[in-house]
Amino acid sequence: MDFMVFQYPMITIQACLDGILLGVLFALIAYGMALQWGVMNIINIAQGDLVILGGYIAYFMYLYGIHPAWGVIVSPIIMYFVGVGIYKLVINKVVDRDLFISILATFGISILFMQLMNFAFGADVVLANSGYGTTFLFDSNVVLPNSKIFSAVVSIVFAICLVIYMKKSKLGRAIRATAQNARAAKILGVDTEKVYAATFGINAALCGVAGALISITFTIHPYMGLPYTIRSFMIVIVAGLGNLPGVAMSGMGLGVFEEFADYILGTEFRIGSVFLLLVLILVYRRFKLSRKREYLK
């Protein structure tokens, strides 16, 4: 245990800011998960792998000389169709089934994606350089890479757009109606099949945005998806399904928690501490959420 993080106020500020910037990105992935969980009652284990796939799209743009920041536009478009494709091939067959079946199905998709990405892109760790500089605060005692700030801003913009879209657009209203009561929505003329496909597509698109941001901020690798799935699962569990401000707060909270765990317990326990927290929260909430569809605001 090392409590250095509390001894120097500058390190405390650094850890908080790093955590918040990271947490916003996690919240974006978690929002996608909350959306499809709420609408379709599916826990998508392949969430993290969709993120990594989105990252590869930005990476390939970077390889071909296009600035990877454009990935946040291109990657969600491609990933939307990937998401719809996965829905049509697999998810529509498990959507009305037991939660356990859908977990198994998406677990299978996750393994398949990992192997396919490894096969197609190789096992090398890659990253896309944005060339964004660094912001210095407090007399250079706190440093924030602009790529992290960029990814937080983009995440917030996408989240706001999505909220507006869900409130104002026809499809958004149909999605919310389906989440509240799929049967009633169907009776009233909502094509729920289409809504499910669109929801899964939107989730994949959000993962695409997040992946592009991760390739700019961190590194990507075919087998790196699982920690992102776990984090978003954890955020959704804490926040609840229909609670967007909750997702944002819980995302940032998790980011800060991870940073502090990193300083206090050591980097090696960073992901481990997330798992531990997840277990504690699950025990605390007694699986309240696991079987219940909640209404999506």
Residues in touch with other proteins (CB under 8 A): 4, 8, 11, 14-15, 18, 22, 115, 118-119, 122-127, 129, 134, 136, 143, 145, 147, 214, 218-219, 221-224, 226-227, 259, 262-263, 266-272
Closest distance to other proteins from the beta carbon of 70 (Å): 19
Nearer to other proteins, 127 or 179 (CB): 127
What φ, ψ does residue 139 adopt, rounded to 5°? 60, 40
Q: CB burial class (10 A; 0-12, 13-18, 19+) of residue 133?
A: exposed
Q: Scanning the structure block, which residue is given the tokens 């569990």?
A: 237
The token duo for 230 is 């776990």
Smallest gap from residue 262 Cβ to other proteins (A): 4
Least separation, in Å, of the C-beta of 76 and other proteins? Answer: 21
Could you tell me which residues are beta bridge partners of residue 145?
A: 134
Residue with Cβ nearer other proteins (6 or 136): 136
Q: How far is CA 189 from the centre of its chain?
A: 31
**Helix axes 9-40 and 226-239, enclosed angle (nearest 10):** 80
CB of 123 to other proteins, least distance (A): 4
Q: Give the closest residue to 236 by CA, choosing from 50, 34, 101, 64.
A: 34
From the CB of 282, what's the least distance to other proteins, in Å?
21
Q: How far is the CB of 62 from other proteins (least distance, A)?
A: 10
If the CB atoms of residues 173 and 270 are measured against other proteins, the closer one turns out to be 270
Nearer Cβ to other proteins (49/259): 259
User: What is the C-alpha to C-alpha distance for residues 255 and 17, in angstroms, rounded to an integer?
Assistant: 9
| AA letter at 45 | I
User: Distance from first CA to last CA of the chain, Å, rounded?
Assistant: 42
- HSE on the CB side for 270, CA within 13 Å? 13
| Closer CB to other proteins, 147 or 199, in the complex | 147
Nearer to other proteins, 136 or 295 (CB): 136
Minimum CB–partner distance for residue 42 and other proteins (Å): 25
What's the rounded Cα separation, in Å, for the pair 24 and 36?
A: 19
DSSP-based three-state secondary structure for 286: coil
Of 183 and 268, the one with the shorter C-beta distance to other proteins is: 268
